Chain A
Amino acid sequence: MSMIEVSNLTKDFRKTIKSPGLVGAFKSLIKPKYETFEAVKNLSFEVPKGEILGFIGANGAGKSTTIKMLTGILTPTSGYCRINDKIPQEDRQNYVKDIGVVFGQRTQLWWDLPLRETYSVLKEIYNVPDKDFYKRMDFLNEVLDLNDFITSPVRTLSLGQRMRADIAASLLHNPKVLFLDEPTIGLDVSVKDKIRHAIEQINQEEQTTIILTTHDLGDIELLCNRVFMIDHGQEVFDGTIKQLKNRFGHIREIEFELVNAEDANRLNFSQFGSAIEYSQNEKNVRVKFDSSKVSVPDVIRLTLSQVDVQDISVKDADIEDIVRRIFRKEAAEHD
């Protein structure tokens, strides 16, 4: 049986259309015009117990709206989700006992008080028995290193510490499902690493089902068995990260440092058609291409034949590139 079942989930928002400026604001005050904006359209998927699902998409694709419906914050316009055998909107108070939620951009910690106070209040809110609470705190201390700052007021914590503290707060009651909305946003590499490791450990020890939204390919590659991608509120991909890369081509990026910035004018990749594109910033030229259609040596050979180059570096594409690529492809198919 699936831990999470989502069926034809749809969310429309009504937006007021405003003409720009103060006059426009007055006009819309007197005679408002509305338009319906479909943030999420007909999403259906299932997540088995113990899986970590990477939920990805560009900004504004409908990720947060979906997460907010799954966590019971928003009411769907139509369709439903059933999680842990409960419909969040119908049985919200009961449902949230078994889930944990972290919104990377917001905190649920008590801003002015030492971190420890937040945990003791959450213990009361979730009715966690003393014995479980101490055991749980020991475990969370171990995986997230909270002891260094547990007596500091939350407002004095660094972003990385705050995020670790927030993740611990969402896990205090040992939830069956954990929603992480951009848990690594704005963090440095070592903190990201610690958080990824913690998520992995929690998933393994407790068989916690996790939905993770992120813009970081590293998070996805290290943690997720499966990737679900949406755009404009609709599903565009559902499968493993390997399938994602195979299906949408290996995007590669080569950065050339030129001897003279003006030489860039002489660059001409037209023989490769639409499989390649480049951008220039002073002496640095970035060339992005689909390595299933154009080979790396070909690109380097052609570039060297056209301009003088000081340095070359070849990179793997990040998730953003793949995502952008998919969207362009989708858009092209629609036209």
Chain B
Amino acid sequence: MRRVLHLEKIFISQYLKQTMEYKADFIVGVLGVLLNQVLNLIFLQVIFSQVPKLAGWSLQQIVFIYGFALIPKGLDHLFFDNLWIVGQKLVRKGEFDKYLTRPINPLFHVLVETFQVDAFGELLVGVILLVMSSATVHWTLLKVILFIVSIPFATAIYTALKIGTSAAAFWMKKSNTITYLFYMFNDFAKYPVSIFNHLIRWIISFIIPFAFTAFYPASYFLTGKNVLFNLGGLVVISIVFLFIAIKIWNKGISSYESAGS
């Protein structure tokens, strides 16, 4: 574990050095992220000022759910964004070879190679929204602990879906459109699932379980009800999905065909 953290540190600093190598690009990138998040905040302000209540949830509660949704999404984005590149080109162009000739786990190697600074925007907005709406939650020590524990599990759902779908590239050569298709469902996670019809509700709960990254855990903190389903479900779903994703990934590696050189 110490070695894992050590390598993580090395790779992150390496990535930041690379980013800073192109100064203008870096500065424009940071400005872009800030602008994007400011616009997001304004947009949310407009929506929430028009919709005071949604399927029985008050504005404050919806802000909490929305803010909660951004935390695991932002963390996954920050640390594990390189998975997109697997389905986009690493496999198709045979660049994945490199990861297989190094004495560290290839999945770990791919994951730690980037550190997507853009994600700080999402995380920042998420934290702001959570702070703004935290008065609506009746906090207890237990809830605080569960809140902290639920974040890594929720993040793991994002990461598991990205691992599984990008591993499809080992057979299909290119799979980032599948990752994109799955990833788009996370938009549903920002709102109470009760506003969707049964099919979508079922899909985002058990097939592409983004509802467990935001609405279910957040609704436990808001109402204090159904801890078994809302948080227990999160833990079970994230472990099961991560397990399946890693199985697919490992199977994929043995089907990897590289590319002619």
Q: Is A97 an interface residue (CB 8 A)?
A: yes
Smallest CB separation, B122 vs chain A (Å): 25
What residues on B are CB-neighbors of A113 within 8 Å?
14, 17-18, 21
Which of A50-58, A98-106, A214-222 touches B?
A98-106
What residues on B are CB-neighbors of A105 within 8 Å?
261
Q: Is A153 an interface residue (CB 8 A)?
A: yes
Is there an interface contact between A96 and B103, defined as CB atoms closer than 8 Å? yes
Smallest CB separation, B13 vs chain A (Å): 10
Q: Is A139 an interface residue (CB 8 A)?
A: no
CA distance A36 to B258 in the complex (A): 17
Interface string of B247-261 (1 = CB under 8 A from A): 000000011111011
Q: Is A89 an interface residue (CB 8 A)?
A: yes
Smallest CB separation, B35 vs chain A (Å): 25
Please pick, from B98, B104, B105, B258, the residue contacting A68 in the complex, using a CB distance under 8 A.
B258
Q: Is A121 an interface residue (CB 8 A)?
A: yes
Instruction: Classify chain A's interface size.
Output: 20 to 34
Which chain A residue shows the least CB distance to B6? Answer: A124
CA distance A270 to B97 in the complex (A): 51
Which chain B residue shows the least CB distance to A105? Answer: B261
CA distance A112 to B95 in the complex (A): 17
Q: Is A265 an interface residue (CB 8 A)?
A: no
- A103 with B103: in contact, given A121-B10, A124-B6 (CB under 8 Å)? no
What residues on A are CB-neighbors of B127 within 8 Å?
none
- A72 with B101: in contact, given A103-B261, A181-B261 (CB under 8 Å)? yes
Smallest CB separation, B140 vs chain A (Å): 43
CA distance A71 to B256 in the complex (A): 13
What residues on A are CB-neighbors of B105 within 8 Å?
93
Most buried by A among B6, B17, B102: B102
Q: Is B128 an interface residue (CB 8 A)?
A: no
Q: Is A294 an interface residue (CB 8 A)?
A: no
Smallest CB separation, A171 vs chain B (Å): 13
CA distance A99 to B101 in the complex (A): 8
Which residues of chain B from 1 to 39 have a CB within 8 Å of any chain A CB? 3, 6-7, 10-11, 14, 17-18, 21-22
Most buried by B among A68, A117, A127: A68
Q: Is A126 an interface residue (CB 8 A)?
A: yes
Q: How many residue pairs bridge A and B at CB < 8 Å?
A: 70
Smallest CB separation, B112 vs chain A (Å): 11
What residues on A are CB-neighbors of B103 within 8 Å?
93-94, 96-97, 125-127
Which chain B residue shows the least CB distance to A67? Answer: B261
CA distance A95 to B109 in the complex (A): 17
Which residues of chain B from 78 to 101 have a CB within 8 Å of any chain A CB? 94-95, 97-98, 100-101
What residues on B are CB-neighbors of A93 within 8 Å?
103-105
Q: Is A64 an interface residue (CB 8 A)?
A: yes
CA distance A159 to B100 in the complex (A): 24
Is there an interface contact between B14 and A110, defined as CB atoms closer than 8 Å? yes
Interface string of A229-253 (1 = CB under 8 A from B): 0000000000000000000000000
What residues on B are CB-neighbors of A125 within 8 Å?
7, 102-104
Which chain B residue shows the least CB distance to A99? Answer: B101
Which chain A residue shows the least CB distance to B98? Answer: A108
Which chain A residue shows the least CB distance to B100? Answer: A73
What residues on A are CB-neighbors of B17 within 8 Å?
113, 117
- A112 with B98: in contact, given A64-B261, A89-B254, A96-B103 (CB under 8 Å)? no
Q: Is A74 an interface residue (CB 8 A)?
A: yes
Is there an interface contact between B21 and A112, defined as CB atoms closer than 8 Å? yes
Is there an interface contact between B97 and A103, defined as CB atoms closer than 8 Å? yes
Is there an interface contact between A73 and B261, defined as CB atoms closer than 8 Å? no
Q: Is A44 an interface residue (CB 8 A)?
A: no
Smallest CB separation, B96 vs chain A (Å): 8
Is there an interface contact between A101 and B101, defined as CB atoms closer than 8 Å? yes
Q: Is A13 an interface residue (CB 8 A)?
A: yes
**Would you give 5 A-B contacts (Cβ < 8 Å), ordered by A?**
A64-B261, A92-B100, A96-B103, A110-B18, A113-B18
The 5 closest A-B pairs by CB, nearest first: A97-B103, A112-B18, A105-B261, A75-B254, A112-B21
Which B residues contact A (CB, under 8 angstroms)? 3, 6-7, 10-11, 14, 17-18, 21-22, 94-95, 97-98, 100-105, 254-258, 260-261
List 13 other contacts, CB 8 Å, given A96-B101, A117-B17: A13-B257, A60-B260, A64-B261, A72-B101, A73-B256, A73-B258, A89-B254, A101-B101, A103-B97, A106-B98, A113-B18, A121-B11, A181-B261
